[in-house]
């Protein structure tokens, strides 16, 4: 097949906040995915979407399918932008559709769906203006997060607060810096888990990955903050969490966590692949924090490839499986069902 790999390249932007490009991909990651696709016998076009007119690009460079890891340009629906354009152009692509991508990017809307499905998620309150009265049912400590960011942007040690004064300070900070509504959640003390789902003909739930922050003593970072994600493995900064895959869990709890992740994948309507972030409280209740329908695919640093490796799956087979899942899904659907061809 002829495959286009769509991505946003991570690059330093002067005058922008340090985490401005955190969601975007490094050249090494893009190259690794492209090599993996080539290793399966396909041709690859690299398409950096930030500076590309996709309509004219694909008119001049037609492809059979797109392997999409692009986060989009900006805004509330950014992860949906590339899939929406591809839908319009009638080009199949890997991963979820615009609806699931926009939903998953909005943490509060995701939580509403989870609650309606009976899936545990931390108690929360959404702050739009910043001055709303705190719901007295919420118990400190609370964590303050931008409602629609990824890669832990805007989530640092200071974001966990123990009193109202600090709570409103952090809410103001997030509103000012990220220009969006703020999700305040009860902070779940307990183990950090993440669960990968891959639809490769069957549905595979990878071994659960546990991230243990007790080895981050030098930094005292005790959850998956932006600094831990951005500088993961940096011993000088003390950002060296320990990864256990499979997680250190009893079989019964492992099954419960996997079931919750799979139900989340289906509830949000994800395709091909997803990674669900979970905190297990001291009573072993798995609280879903969020789902990532575009999980990081860096072969060394990203969580999903770590899980695939623990399952005995090579990196190129993981990438190949995502591609084949999308290809088979699109083959089972009429290409232009209900639509006129061309005209764009
Ligand atoms: N309610 C919570 N209780 C405990 N820890 C939390 C909670 N919410 C977030 N965290 C911590 O902050 C991290 C990042 O939060 P979250 O997954 O919501 O952000 P994100 O930006 O969407 O992350 P990703 O990088 O996976 O896209 C979590 O992995 C967890 O360590
Ligand atoms: Mg997360």
Q: Supply the range of the domain harboring residue 326.
A: 191-330
Q: Is 210 in the pocket of ligand 1 (CB under 6 A)?
A: no
Full-model pTM: 0.95
- State whether 199 and 272 are in the same domain: yes
Instruction: Evaluate: CB of 148 within 6 angstroms of ligand 1.
Output: no
- Domain membership of residue 248 (yes or no) is yes
| Number of folded domains that form the chain | 3
Q: How many CB atoms lie within 10 A of CB 170?
A: 23
Cα(310) to ligand 1 centroid in Å equals 23
How far, in Å, is the centroid of ligand 2 from the Cα of 152? Answer: 6
Is the pLDDT at 337 greater than 60? The verdict is no
List, for residues 90-111, the tens digit of each pLDDT value: 999 999 999 999 999 999 999 9
Does the pLDDT value for residue 272 go beyond 90? yes
| Distance from Cα 261 to the centre of ligand 2, integer Å | 13
Q: What is the mean pLDDT of the chain?
A: 94
Q: Which atom of ligand 1 is closest in space to residue 289's alpha carbon?
A: 18
Q: According to the model, what pLDDT value does residue 334 have?
A: 62
286 lines ligand 1 (CB under 6 A): no
Q: What is the pLDDT of residue 113?
A: 98
Asked whether residue 145 is domain-assigned, the answer is yes
Q: Quick: pLDDT tens for 178-216.
A: 999 999 999 999 999 999 999 988 999 999 999 999 999
Closest ligand 1 atom, residue 277 Cα:
17
Q: Ligand 1 test: best mutation among 105, 224, 288, most atoms within 8 Å of CB?
A: 224
CATH number reported for the structural domain that contains residue 195 in this entry: 3.30.470.20
Above 50 in pLDDT, residue 70? yes
Domain identity same for 269 and 168: no
Question: What CATH number should be reported for the domain holding residue 52?
Answer: 3.40.50.20
| Ligand 1 contacts CB of residue 122 (under 6 A) | yes
pLDDT level of residue 166 (50, 70, 90 thresholds): very high
Higher local confidence (pLDDT), 172 or 23? 172
Q: Is the distance from the beta carbon of residue 277 to the nearest atom of ligand 1 less than 6 Å?
A: yes
Residue nearest atom 28 of ligand 1, based on CA coordinates:
224
- pLDDT score, position 97: 97
Q: Is 144 in the pocket of ligand 1 (CB under 6 A)?
A: no
Q: CATH no. for residue 179? A: 3.30.1490.20
Atom of ligand 1 nearest to the CA of 186: 1
Same domain, 160 and 197: no
Q: In the predicted model, is pLDDT for residue 28 greater than 60?
A: yes
One domain, residues 196 and 175: no
If asked whether residues 176 and 150 sit together in one domain, one would say yes
User: What pLDDT shows up at residue 134?
Assistant: 98
User: Is the residue at 110 inside a domain?
Assistant: no
Whether 339 has a pLDDT exceeding 60, the answer reads no
Residue 33 Cα to ligand 1 midpoint, Å, equals: 26
Q: For residue 18, what pLDDT is reported?
A: 82
What pLDDT was estimated at residue 343?
46
Q: Determine whether the shortest distance from the Cβ of 223 to ligand 1 is under 6 A.
A: yes
């Amino acid at each position: 097949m002829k495959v286009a790999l769509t991505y946003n390249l991570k690059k330093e932007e002067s005058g922008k906040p340090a985490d401005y490009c955190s969601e975007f991909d490094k050249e090494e990651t893009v190259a690794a995915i492209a090599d993996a696709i080539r290793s399966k016998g396909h041709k690859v076009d690299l398409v950096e979407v930030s500076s590309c007119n996709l309509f004219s690009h694909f008119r001049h460079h037609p492809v059979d399918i797109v392997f999409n890891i692009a986060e989009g340009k900006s805004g509330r629906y950014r992860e949906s932008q590339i899939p929406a354009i591809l839908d319009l152009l009638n080009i199949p692509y890997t991963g979820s559709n615009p609806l699931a991508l926009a939903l998953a990017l909005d943490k509060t809307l995701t939580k509403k769906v989870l609650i309606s499905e009976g899936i545990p998620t931390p108690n929360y309150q959404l702050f739009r203006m910043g001055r709303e009265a705190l719901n007295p049912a919420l118990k400190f400590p609370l964590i303050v997060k931008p409602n629609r960011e990824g890669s832990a942007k805007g989530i640092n040690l200071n974001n966990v607060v123990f009193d109202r004064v600090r709570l409103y300070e952090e809410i103001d900070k997030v509103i000012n810096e990220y220009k969006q509504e703020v999700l305040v959640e009860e902070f779940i003390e307990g183990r950090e888990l993440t669960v990968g789902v891959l639809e490769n003909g069957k549905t595979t739930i990878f071994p659960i990955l546990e991230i243990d922050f007790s080895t981050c003593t030098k930094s005292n970072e005790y959850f998956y903050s932006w600094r831990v994600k951005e500088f993961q493995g940096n011993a000088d900064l003390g950002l060296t969490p320990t990864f256990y895959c499979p997680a250190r869990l009893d079989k019964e709890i492992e099954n419960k966590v996997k079931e919750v992740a799979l139900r989340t994948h289906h509830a949000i309507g994800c395709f091909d692949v997803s990674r669900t972030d979970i905190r297990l409280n001291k009573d072993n209740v798995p609280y879903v924090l969020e789902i990532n329908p575009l999980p990081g695919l860096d072969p060394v640093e990203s969580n999903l490839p770590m899980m695939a490796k623990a399952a005995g799956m090579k990196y190129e087979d993981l990438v190949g499986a995502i591609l084949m899942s999308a290809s088979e899904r699109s083959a089972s659907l009429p290409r232009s069902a209900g639509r006129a061809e061309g005209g764009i």
